[in-house]
Amino acid sequence: MKIILDANVLVSALFGGVPERAVIQAFKEMVYISPRIEAEFQSLSAKLAQRLSPTKHKTWTHVFLPSVLGRCERVGVRRKVDLCRDPKDNAYLSLALEVEADILVTGDKDLLVLSENELRNAGLTFLKILTPRDFLELH
């Protein structure tokens, strides 16, 4: 199974619970990342410094993120999808198209509202966009 994890799921996983379990489950499969998404993950460090406790921020920067990035399969994206109302989320859809991902795990409403017809019309007939809870229910 080919899986893509959204940044919001990774940040939420720092706090445990369903997102953490979803991330752990995802890494029992192949998890993919593109250079653009990796850059988004890296840029979160500065934003999270304002929102997280110093301990959580240090965990994100020095433990969690390097571990996640070290376990992802990096793939360059050649084809672009322009489907989402939030343009930055199109990077996840473009990666899904490139690797023919089975699942995109996200809590992002801009991605979750996409219909099967919209995905099919963009060539993403194989993709399911699931919340962390829904993803865990599959396993």
From the list 87, 91, 83, the residue with the least C-alpha distance to 32 is 91
pLDDT for the residue 90: 97
Q: What percent of the chain is modeled with pLDDT above 90?
A: 89
Q: Say what the pTM is.
A: 0.94
Lookup: tokens for 112: 């979750």
pLDDT at 109 over 90: yes
User: Where do the domains of the chain lie?
Assistant: 2-138
pLDDT the model gives residue 88:
92
Mean pLDDT of 108-133: 96
Tokens 């433990």 belong to 63
The shares of helix, strand and coil residues in the chain, as percent rounded to the nearest 5, are 60, 10, 30
Which class for 92: exposed (0-12), middle (13-18), buried (19 or more C-beta within 10 A)?
buried
Distance CA 111, CA 44 (A): 19
Q: What is the mean pLDDT of the chain?
A: 95
> Per-residue pLDDT tens for 63-75?
999 999 999 999 9
Assigned token pair, 24: 């752990």
Query: How confident is the model over 13-33, as a mean pLDDT?
Result: 97
Among 1.10.620.20, 3.40.50.2300, 3.40.50.1010, 3.40.50.300, what is the CATH number of 2-138?
3.40.50.1010
Instruction: Give the position of tokens 């899986």.
Output: 3
